[in-house]
Structure 1
Amino acid sequence: MGNALGPAAPRAPRRGGALGNPGSFDELHRQCKEVFPQQMEGVKLIVNKALSSHFQVTHTVHMSTLGASNYHFNATFVGDRQLGPTEAFPTLVGDMDNSGSLNAQVLHLLAERLRTKAVFQFDGEYRGDDCTATLTLGNPDLLGESVILVAHFLQSVTSRLVLGGEMVYHRRPGEEGAILTLAGKYTAPKWVATLNVGYGGAHASYYHRANEQVQVGVELEANTRLQDTTFAFGYQLNLPQANVVFRGSWTATGASGGCWRRSCPRCPSPWLWAPSSTTGRTASTAASASSWAEGRRLPPVLLREPPCRRGTGRRPPPGGPGLGSLAAGGRRAAALGKPSG
Structure 2
Amino acid sequence: MEGGAKPDNLPLFPNNPGFQDEWSRKLKDLFPVPLDGAKITLNKMLASRFQLVHTVNLSDAGGAGPVPGASMGPPPYTFQATCVGKAEHEELTPVLMAEMDNSGSLNGQIIRNLSNRVRCKAVVQTQKSKWVMTQGALEYKGNTYSASLAAINPDLLACTGIMSSSFLKRITQNLILGCDFTLHNSQSQLKTSAGLCGRYSGTNWEIFGNLNNGGFQTGFYRDCGKTSAVGVEWECSAIQGESTVSLGYKIDLTETGNFCVRGSLDTSGTVSAVYEKRMHPFLLTLSGSMNHFRGLSKFGFGLTIG
Structure 2 equivalent of residue 279 of structure 1:
290
Following superposition, the deviation at residue 83 of structure 1 comes to: 4.4
- Following superposition of structure 1 onto structure 2, how do residues 1-150 of structure 1 map, counting pairs within 5 Å? 20-68=15-63, 69-84=75-90, 87-119=91-123, 120-150=134-164
Q: How far apart, in 2, do the equivalents of 1:163 and 1:260 lie?
A: 37
Q: Does residue 162 of structure 1 match 2:157?
A: no
| Contact in 1 for aligned 2:89/2:115 (Cα 8 Å) | no
- The sequence identity of aligned pairs, in percent, is 34
1:282-327 CA distance string (max 9 Å, x none): 20101112122xxxxxxxxxxxxxxxxxxxxxxxxxxxxxxxxxxx
Q: 2:211 aligns with which of 151, 176, 197?
A: 197
Query: Which sits farther off after the overlay, 28-37 or 18-27?
Result: 18-27
Pairwise mapping of residues 208-287 of structure 1 onto structure 2 (< 5 A)? Answer: 208-239=222-253, 240-264=255-279, 267=280, 270-280=281-291, 281=294, 282-287=296-301
CA distance in structure 2 between the aligned counterparts of 1:142 and 1:80, rounded to whole angstroms: 35
Quick check: 2:145–2:167 contact (8 Å CA) kept in 1? yes
Per the alignment, in what secondary structure is the counterpart of residue 283 of structure 1?
A: strand
Q: Label 1:116 to 1:19 Cα distance change in 2 as closer, same or farther (>3 A).
A: closer
Residue ranges of structure 1 left out of the alignment (5+ in a row): 1-17, 293-341
Q: Which has the larger radius of gyration?
A: 1
Q: Are the counterparts in 1 of residues 81 and 99 from structure 2 also a CA contact under 8 Å?
A: yes
Give how far 1:42 is off.
Answer: 1.0
Structure 1 residues 76, 19: CA separation in 2 closer, same or farther (over 3 Å shift)? closer
Q: One-letter code of the match for 1:93?
A: M
Distance 1:100 1:108, change over 3 A: same
Amino acid paired to 2:102: N
Alpha-carbon offset, residue 142 of structure 1: 2.4
Alignment deviations for residues 109-132 of structure 1 (CA, whole Å, 9 cap, x no partner):
111111111122211011122211
**Relative to total residues, which structure has the larger strand share, 1 or 2?**
2
SS of aligned partner of 2:21: helix
Q: 1:29 and 1:54 mapped to 2: Cα distance?
A: 27
TM-score (normalizing by structure 2)? 0.84
Q: Counterpart in 2 of 1:312?
A: none
Q: CA RMSD in A?
A: 1.5
Aligned letter for 1:275? L
Alpha-carbon distance in structure 2 between the residues aligned to 1:32 and 1:103: 25
Q: CA deviation at 1:134?
A: 0.8
Measure, in 1, the Cα distance between the counterparts of 2:50 and 2:214: 42
The normalised TM-score by structure 1 is 0.76
Distance in 2, matches of 1:83 and 1:273, equals 36
The residue identity in structure 1 corresponding to 2:284 is: W
The number of residue pairs the alignment matches comes to 269
- Alignment partners' CA distance in 1, 2:190 and 2:178: 24
How far did 1:71 drift? 0.7
Deviation track 1:85-122 (CA, whole Å, cap 9, x = no partner) reads: xx311111111110111222211111111111112221
Contact 1:19 1:156 in 2 (8 A): no
